[in-house]
Amino acid sequence: MSAAPTDPPPEDLTPDQAAAELARLAAEIAAHDAAYHQHDAPTVSDAEYDRLKARNAALEARFPELIRADSPRHKVGAPPAAGFAEVRHRVPMLSLDNAFDGADVAEFLARIRRFLKLDPDTPVDILAEPKIDGLSVAVRYERGRMVQAATRGDGRTGEDVTANLATLEGLPERLCTDTPPEVLEVRGEVYMTRDAFLALNQRQQAEGGRSFANPRNAAAGSLRQKDPEITRARPLSAFFYAWGEVVGLAFESHHQYLETLAAYGLPTNPLARRCQGVEALLAFHAELADQRASLPYDIDGIVYKVDRVDWQKRLGEVSRAPRWAIAHKFPAEQARTVLRDITVQVGRTGVLTPVAELAPVTVGGVVVGRATLHNEDYIADKDIRVGDTVTIQRAGDVIPQVLAVVPEARPADAQPFRMPDHCPRCGSETVRESGQAARRCTGGLVCPAQAVERLKHFVGRQAFDIEGLGAKHIESFWSDGLLASPADIFRLDADRLAGREGWKETSITNLLNAIAARRTISLERFIHALGIPQVGRATARRLAESYGSLTALRAALTQAAEPDTDTGARTRAELLDIEDIGPAVADELVGFFHEPNNRALLDDLADLLTIEPWQAPEAADSPLAGLTVVFTGSLETMSRDEAKSRAEALGARTATGISKKTDLVVAGPGAGSKRKKAEDLGIEVIDEAAFLARLGEA
Ligand SMILES: NC(=O)c1ccc[n+]([C@@H]2O[C@H](COP(=O)([O-])OP(=O)(O)OC[C@H]3O[C@@H](n4cnc5c(N)ncnc54)[C@H](O)[C@@H]3O)[C@@H](O)[C@H]2O)c1
Ligand SMILES: [Zn+2]
């Protein structure tokens, strides 16, 4: 694996620099592991992830004394996610070392011969199997009956997915044999075929659900469901190729084991082949690389395994991978084509992503017409221009990306690309915060790309808190044109809602009443409801407290938009004086209130609503004034949000964690470690009834 062009060679680093980079890599790789293995939602491509791992390995090779206890080299996967019962693997489930070229494969074979001290005439059978891009599972059969299934987890402890896997088609509940072994834990890979993946994504999109980046994530996300019924509805498949605990079954070679599994009725991969010598392995690798695009499922390489089981045992394992096997990955597939245009997509959070519109080209058997360009810095760094001939890469699974420009092929009139300063979806201004690569549309509340997310936030519990207007209703109202902006919520009437599926007269009346009840709203909630990035409940409260009314807030932020004037500079300084408001938050606020689309909406809302000016809590004579209060455990008579806001209304501050600054803890049933910590620190702990009594005193 090549290092990124910007990585200095390890030899050039001082030990301090190397230690700092190793620490950063450990944290970054652990975060990617969690995203990938626990949440089935990677945030970087596998190629990028592999590059980080390779960089880590290169640094560790140069500075072995700096290898960290939490080094990624020791780790397999990620621990089980919350919500699953845990299964302890009696035989650990390992990962595999990687080979990237013929030299790596030759070295793998040579190492085996050296380790086993084989003389040159002794043949070494290697079983080569496609490396299925899915997730590993262990399925335990006792006396021929399936009793348990688990994911790999961190290799020692996995997640119990017995009920989920029981629904997998083609997985026998009983092994097809009259003489089943006492215990047989078969291991293999659960995957989703490409067709099933495409169909699932289409269905998910139609239903407004989450779509998956690739079949691997779809398989993992589908298997690791808390509700087995959901798994049942997802078409999963499996191939088995390994074993864990085995009692009462003997086999001498890997291929013999696979034959036994097939005879038992377990799915095994028909493409596995026994080979000898590096040439045969590389030929098989090349053959499958050609077939790869036409296989019904994704593979990301070939796994080579020593066939003889006694040799496997002698070879054993090193930290996280066996010595007797290696994964020979396929290179990412690349092609050249012409960049016809750069379009800009707006995501649900308002982030603008430039997209390369390409002259369609086949990459590894798949026609690619678009590729991501990530963000404007990426385009500028590589100086990518419309009309250029570019190299693109498809790493099997992720969205193709533009890697580089072919400079000799640039047309004379090619112009550098500029990100639009207005949103292509709604025309609002776009801004880029200092220190961030992403540019965002500031028209949050009026931008169709963001509308649904923002509307959901707007009616949410911490904002307008409109009961009966849930996420599903928002989506369906929005797609039917009933709601385009938050102001439309207050224009809904019985006529427009009548006749909608699932809406009886009473539910319409209830919804309209709930909306009417919110026509008067506190300034603090109103600001929070606007969903301005980085402006949460606490910041909204501080703004309300500092400016008092919406009119005053708008006036200040309009002035702060002109920092070159005296008044502008002063108002900006005042804004920055408010606790928790730094330059980035100030930019967000100014950008939001500056955007004409947002201003029109605010005018609209001000007409429809009564926005109550800030009322200072009558702090002095309240028993909670000035105290920092933490709620823990469950409350019976009110929600935690309500308890917090009532405490705050009486001049208290609320916090989530216990510290020396905490004055009072309200603990309900189920309060665990926080209660203990509070008691240890000698902080007053009261129950809900006592809390209510204090509210009553106010
Ligand atoms: N994009 C990300 O953020 C991210 C994060 C973590 C991991 N990853 C990717 O996941 C992989 C690393 O994870 P890993 O530890 O599972 O290693 P791995 O996928 O490289 O190899 C080990 C796994 O291969 C699987 N496998 C498939 N077919 C097999 C066969 N025939 N025989 C044996 N094993 C077979 C098994 O599940 C085994 O656990 C890399 O490809 C990495 O790029 C990506
Ligand atoms: Zn927009």
Q: Are strands 684-686 and 664-667 parallel, antiparallel or unpaired?
A: parallel
| Token couple for 380 | 């500028």
CA distance 353 to 374: 6
Contact 56, 72 (CB under 8 A): yes
Q: How far is the CA of 400 from the centre of ligand 2 (A)?
A: 25
CA distance 26 to 500: 53
For tokens 């080094």, what's the residue?
Answer: 71
Binding site per annotation, positions for NAD(+):
46-50, 95-96, 129, 152, 189, 305, 329
Sign of CA dihedral 38, 44, 45, 51: negative
| Token couple for 13 | 């680093």
Provide the pLDDT for residue 233: 86
Q: Which atom of ligand 1 is nearest to the CA of 398?
A: 1
Q: How far is the CA of 448 from the centre of ligand 2 (A)?
A: 7
Binding site per annotation, positions:
46-50, 95-96, 129, 152, 189, 305, 329, 423, 426, 447
- How deeply is 318 buried, as exposed, middle or buried, from its count of CB atoms within 10 A (0-12, 13-18, 19+)? exposed
User: Going by CA atoms, what residue is nearest to atom 8 of ligand 1?
Assistant: 46
What ligand is nearest to the CA atom of residue 350?
2
Q: Are strands 183-191 and 321-322 parallel, antiparallel or unpaired?
A: unpaired
CA distance 494 to 697: 43
Q: Are strands 126-132 and 273-275 parallel, antiparallel or unpaired?
A: antiparallel
What ligand is nearest to the CA atom of residue 426?
2
Give the single-character DSSP code of 293. Answer: G
Cβ of 42 closer than 6 Å to ligand 1, yes or no, is yes
Q: Give, for ligand 1, the residue of 25, 89, 136 to mutate: max count of ligand atoms closer than 8 Å to Cβ.
A: 136
Cβ of 241 closer than 6 Å to ligand 1, yes or no, is yes
Cβ of 50 closer than 6 Å to ligand 1, yes or no, is yes
Q: How far is the CA of 10 from the centre of ligand 1 (A)?
A: 26
Contact 549, 614 (CB under 8 A): yes
* CA-closest candidate to residue 196, choices 172, 214, 174: 214
Q: How far is the CA of 198 from the centre of ligand 1 (A)?
A: 22
For tokens 């080579």, what's the residue?
Answer: 304
Catalytic option among 53, 117, 131, 676: 131
What ligand is nearest to the CA atom of residue 298?
1
Count how many Cα atoms sit within 13 Å of the Cα of residue 489 in the half-sphere of its side chain: 34
Q: Give, for ligand 1, the residue of 273, 288, 303, 324 to mutate: max count of ligand atoms closer than 8 Å to Cβ.
A: 303
| Token couple for 509 | 């009346």
Q: Give, for ligand 1, the residue of 25, 29, 36 to mutate: max count of ligand atoms closer than 8 Å to Cβ.
A: 36
User: Going by CA atoms, what residue is nearest to atom 29 of ligand 1?
Assistant: 131
CA distance 91 to 264: 22
What's the chain's Rg over C-alpha atoms? 30
b/e per residue 260-279 (b: at least 16 CB within 10 A):
bbeebebbbbebbbebeebe
Sign of CA dihedral 49, 54, 55, 57: positive
Provide the pLDDT for residue 3: 41
Q: How far is the CA of 86 from the centre of ligand 1 (A)?
A: 21
Cβ of 321 closer than 6 Å to ligand 1, yes or no, is no
Q: Give, for ligand 1, the residue of 189, 241, 398 to mutate: max count of ligand atoms closer than 8 Å to Cβ.
A: 189
Cβ of 1 closer than 6 Å to ligand 1, yes or no, is no
Provide the pLDDT for residue 398: 59
* Cβ contacts of 643 within 8 Å, gap of 6 or more: 631, 635, 666, 691
Contact 573, 590 (CB under 8 A): no
Provide the pLDDT for residue 653: 82
Q: Which atom of ligand 1 is nearest to the CA of 269?
A: 31
Q: How far is the CA of 345 from the centre of ligand 2 (A)?
A: 10
pLDDT, mean of each 10-residue run, the chain (698 residues): 61 91 93 87 77 88 89 87 91 92 95 93 96 96 96 94 89 95 97 90 78 84 88 92 96 97 97 96 94 88 97 90 94 87 88 92 77 90 94 73 90 93 91 81 83 88 88 85 90 86 86 93 94 86 91 93 90 87 88 90 94 75 82 83 79 83 88 86 90 76
Q: Which atom of ligand 1 is nearest to the CA of 136?
A: 37
Provide the pLDDT for residue 1: 36
Provide the pLDDT for residue 618: 60
Sign of CA dihedral 96, 98, 102, 106: negative
What ligand is nearest to the CA atom of residue 440?
2
User: Going by CA atoms, what residue is nearest to atom 17 of ligand 1?
Assistant: 95
Q: Which atom of ligand 1 is nearest to the CA of 135?
A: 37
Binding site per annotation, positions for Zn(2+):
423, 426, 447
Q: Which atom of ligand 1 is nearest to the CA of 43?
A: 3
Cβ of 63 closer than 6 Å to ligand 1, yes or no, is no
Q: Which atom of ligand 1 is nearest to the CA of 321?
A: 22
131 included as an active-site residue: yes
CA quadruple 131, 137, 143, 146: dihedral, nearest 10: -120
Contact 309, 292 (CB under 8 A): no
Q: Which atom of ligand 1 is nearest to the CA of 47?
A: 43
Q: How far is the CA of 95 from the centre of ligand 1 (A)?
A: 7
Q: How far is the CA of 223 from the centre of ligand 1 (A)?
A: 16
Q: How far is CA 84 from the centre of its chain?
A: 19
Cβ of 285 closer than 6 Å to ligand 1, yes or no, is no
What ligand is nearest to the CA atom of residue 446?
2
Domains for the chain: give ranges and CATH numbers.
Answer: 10-75 (1.10.287.610), 98-329 (3.30.470.30), 333-409 (2.40.50.140), 451-612 (1.10.150.20), 628-697 (3.40.50.10190)
**What's the complex ipTM?**
0.94
Q: How far is the CA of 171 from the centre of ligand 1 (A)?
A: 22
Q: How far is the CA of 370 from the centre of ligand 2 (A)?
A: 22
Ramachandran region, residue 580 (left: φ > 0; alpha: ψ -120 to 50; beta: rest)? left
Q: Which atom of ligand 1 is nearest to the CA of 36?
A: 5
Length of the chain: 698
E-state strands within 382-438:
389-394, 401-405, 430-432
| Token couple for 18 | 């190397």
Cβ of 297 closer than 6 Å to ligand 1, yes or no, is no
What is 566-595 written as a DSSP string?
Answer: HHHHHHHHHHHHSTT--HHHHHHHHHHHH-
Cβ of 55 closer than 6 Å to ligand 1, yes or no, is no
Provide the pLDDT for residue 264: 97
